[in-house]
Chains A and B, each alone.
Chain A
Amino acid sequence: MDKLIDIVNRAIEDYGFRQIAQWSPEDVVEMWDLTNEEAGVLTGPIKMALDMLPIPVEPDDYISEKARFRQIIDKALRT
């Protein structure tokens, strides 16, 4: 959970990292040592939500976007 939150927080603030999370998730899975379940959330609902983010996310929107992604992660890990 904490690792996924760290990953999405970086992806929200940094477009370059976002692209890696979107298109080279295997590198992120390995470097953050994610479980299979966490990897599935990254490549599933998180990827879908990242695809919809504006370029860039404005700093004023960081808090609300981070909260939204946290909900996505919470929901995905519960199901």
Chain B
Amino acid sequence: MIISVKKPDLDKLLIRLYAHNNMPGRLNNKVCLITGGASGIGRAVTIRFLEEGGTVVVVDRNRAAIKETLEIARTVSTKVESIEADVSKLDQVENMIRSTVDKFGHLDVLVNGAGVLVLTQEAEHVEEREWDLIMNTNLKGLFFCCKYALPEMVRSGGGSIVNIASITGIQGYSRSLPYSVSKAGVIHLTFVLANQYTRRGVRVNAVAPGSIDTHQARGSSQSVGALDIVAQNHPMKRIGKASEMAEVILFLASEESSFISGETILADGGSWAGGGHV
């Protein structure tokens, strides 16, 4: 049967279809906890998730950044709360998950964005405390968050975890061996957790960003002009934006990626493929 549609009606239909595909709401009724959610990529994720109807709990240890982020976030949605916590502390992570579930009844999405990049010398000069400072947050802390979030997600019927790794976890980064190793660990942890929990309804994925314009990237570049040089050598002649990473993370957090688990998406603008550097 052929349905005849008048031109004005077709226009309306196309507009409705367009609106449907671009309509915010991919995280309606979802409770999303974002560690490191007060700055950089984490802040961009916070804003993007709110735009998509999610209820967002921002977790960060940086009190000033939390305050600033909440002021911005509340112009988008009032469904945002914050918890001041250090993910490297087991008791704080346990409390953060418990208080979120106590308040909202369930936890649907966990974005593990908390991380630190401390620059180090060559391997023989790396101090134990430098190693510990990086690993405690980037790998052990991320594991703590998964450890306490997973049972809650399983209990409420499923969920999605998105870990923020790094291109340095794939190609290495000579200015911080511990950081590279921690991010490689995040990628492997993602794979093993997917192996254990996908069958129980929790998808676990990671994003490995390349060079992204954040305070962290600018701070670690040791010069205002250094990132411009990175951009000049990049295949796209620019570095990435935090908002671009937020789109990838939104995809992995939402049902749009419902058949993806155990994956790490390298979001570097073709840098790795082009043989470029971080």
Contacts and interface: CB of A to CB of B under 8 A. Distances in A.
Given A27-B133, A31-B132, A51-B64, A20 B118 contact: yes
A15 B116 CA distance: 9
Interface residues of B, number: 23
Identify whether the interface residues of A are mostly helix, strand, loop, or mixed: helix
A51 B219 CA distance: 13
B200 interface: no
B224 A56 contact: yes
Given A15-B216, A18-B219, A24 B118 contact: no
B132 A19 contact: no
A44 B251 CA distance: 42
A55 B88 CA distance: 25
Contact of B62 (A14, A19, A32, A56): A19
Contacts of B63: 23
Interface in A18-56: 18-20, 22-24, 27, 31-32, 51, 55-56
Interface residues of A, number: 19
B199 to A, nearest CB: 36
A15 B133 contact: no
A61 to B, nearest CB: 11
Given A16-B116, A17-B118, A56 B136 contact: no
B223 A14 contact: no
15 contacts: A13-B119, A13-B222, A14-B118, A14-B119, A15-B215, A16-B117, A16-B118, A16-B220, A17-B133, A19-B219, A20-B133, A24-B88, A31-B132, A31-B133, A58-B224
Interface of B: 61-64, 86, 88, 116-119, 129, 132-133, 136, 215-216, 218-224
